[in-house]
Amino acid sequence: MKPAIGGYRYLYALLWLGLIGYSVLLAPPAPPDLLEQLAALVLADSARIDPIAIALFNLLGVLPTAFLAILLFDTGRPSPWPFAIAAFFLGGFALLLYLALRDFRAPLDPHPGRFVRAVGSRRLGWILFAITLVLLGVALVAGSPMSFASQFNGSKFIAVMSADLIALSIALHLAADTDRVRRGLPPPPAWQHLPLLGPLLYLSTRPSLQD
């Protein structure tokens, strides 16, 4: 295992601390209509919430699923399961902590269960990649940067959600690199370095442990 992989845990810790620090010290205050804002995000109500924010909100469902395809093969301590489940509610606040603590030296599970095999399959990787392309397309075509900036500056939830997405996108690149090394795969091609999309393409083309 190359030395840089072991050092990734410090980067994860910095991302985790940075995310906490931003949410506590720098993010704007919570809006008075927070519950209504959350409902509009869940319902994808573009009349109330800019499509860019809606796309980011849904990407925070895609990224934890992508992390499942990597982390559920871990056999070390702590167990990835509590953190993986919590990630769908807490995002990087849960996942980054696990990534900083996980045992990189423990072997990957060579005989995962049916659920883990399905989550780690190339088919799901392509599904996540396609969903991400659609969400990015919606944000690009229908979103208004000025409207999003206004909502970002006026809502703690949208601001922290955006910071969470950035932190998780960086962490997913590092986690994919670690996974490639642990599986003994060759150096990554150029497309794996694409922001956000590169790790999803990696999961879409990654051979199984049995191959």
Per-domain boundaries in the chain? 3-205
Question: Contact, 21 vs 13, CB < 8 A?
Answer: no
Question: Contact, 55 vs 136, CB < 8 A?
Answer: yes
Q: Sign of the C-alpha dihedral, residues 129, 185, 191, 105?
A: positive
Q: Is the pLDDT of residue 48 over 70?
A: yes
pTM of the model: 0.92
- The angle at the Cα of 65, spanning 56 to 138, to the nearest 5 degrees, equals 30
Task: Give the pLDDT score at 126.
Answer: 97
Q: Is the pLDDT of residue 128 over 90?
A: yes
Sequence-ordered list of residues with C-beta below 8 angstroms from that of 86, at least 6 positions apart, any chain: 94
Q: Is the pLDDT of residue 146 over 80?
A: yes
Sequence-ordered list of residues with C-beta below 8 angstroms from that of 93, at least 6 positions apart, any chain: 16, 19, 20, 164
What is the per-residue pLDDT across 152-187, written as a single tens digit (0 to 9) for each? Answer: 999 999 999 999 999 999 999 999 999 998 888 988
Q: Is the pLDDT of residue 203 over 90?
A: yes
